Amino acid sequence: MSTTETFEFNKDNLATYKEYLTRYDDVESALLPVLHLAQEQNGWLPDHVVSYISLLMSIPEIKIKEVISFYDMFYDVPVGRNIVQVCTNISCSMFGGREIYQGLLKHFDTGYLTPTRDGRISLQKMECLGACELAPCMRVNDDFVGNLDLTSAIQKLEELP
């Protein structure tokens, strides 16, 4: 699908990009932090952002798309302002993680990664978040929230900007 949208790093991020390149022996090794940077600026990673990075780094678009689809932390669809990852793996599901995830989808009337109507939240079902001691838990942007039940999870998310 062709698109007329364009993207380029803003001045600060272009400087950050150049600084990233000094940390690695080859350009390709900087791809993950560069994708984080682009996603931070654009919110998600659509085709025109991938094209820009491909030209900038001389990496084929297909390779960049493979990386984006491999990692849960990169989004090739539009997402809400806040990313909420709910763990449904074994430790968390023993304490109701799956029910919490389903309950949140229902409460916010949304689906996997689909932004809520107000654009505030995208919910993402996850495998182990590496915080089993907090089971059942979720990650809200960069913060872990644990020992949840559906009521406390909803309350936490209703406070988000």
Q: What residues make contact with ligand FES under the rule CB under 6 A?
A: 87, 89-92, 128-129, 131-132, 135, 137
Residue 137 near residue 131, CB atoms below 8 Å: yes
Structural Rg of the chain based on CA atoms: 18
Which is closer to ligand FES, CB of 20 or CB of 101? 101
Which is closer to ligand FES, CB of 14 or CB of 73? 73
What does the block give as tokens for 4? 């007329």
Taking the complex as a whole, how short is the minimal distance between the CB of residue 149 and ligand FES, in angstroms? 15
Taking the complex as a whole, how short is the minimal distance between the CB of residue 132 and ligand FES, in angstroms? 4
Which is closer to ligand FES, CB of 50 or CB of 87? 87
Which is closer to ligand FES, CB of 51 or CB of 93? 93
- Helical H runs in the chain? 11-21, 31-42, 47-57, 61-70, 90-94, 97-107, 150-158
Q: How many residues does the chain have?
A: 161
Taking the complex as a whole, how short is the minimal distance between the CB of residue 54 and ligand FES, in angstroms? 35
Tell how strand 143-145 and strand 138-140 pair up. antiparallel
Taking the complex as a whole, how short is the minimal distance between the CB of residue 125 and ligand FES, in angstroms? 11
**Exposure class string for 6-33: b at 16+ Cβ within 10 A, else e:** ebebeeeeeebbeebeeeeeeeeebbeb
Taking the complex as a whole, how short is the minimal distance between the CB of residue 148 and ligand FES, in angstroms? 11
Which is closer to ligand FES, CB of 20 or CB of 95? 95
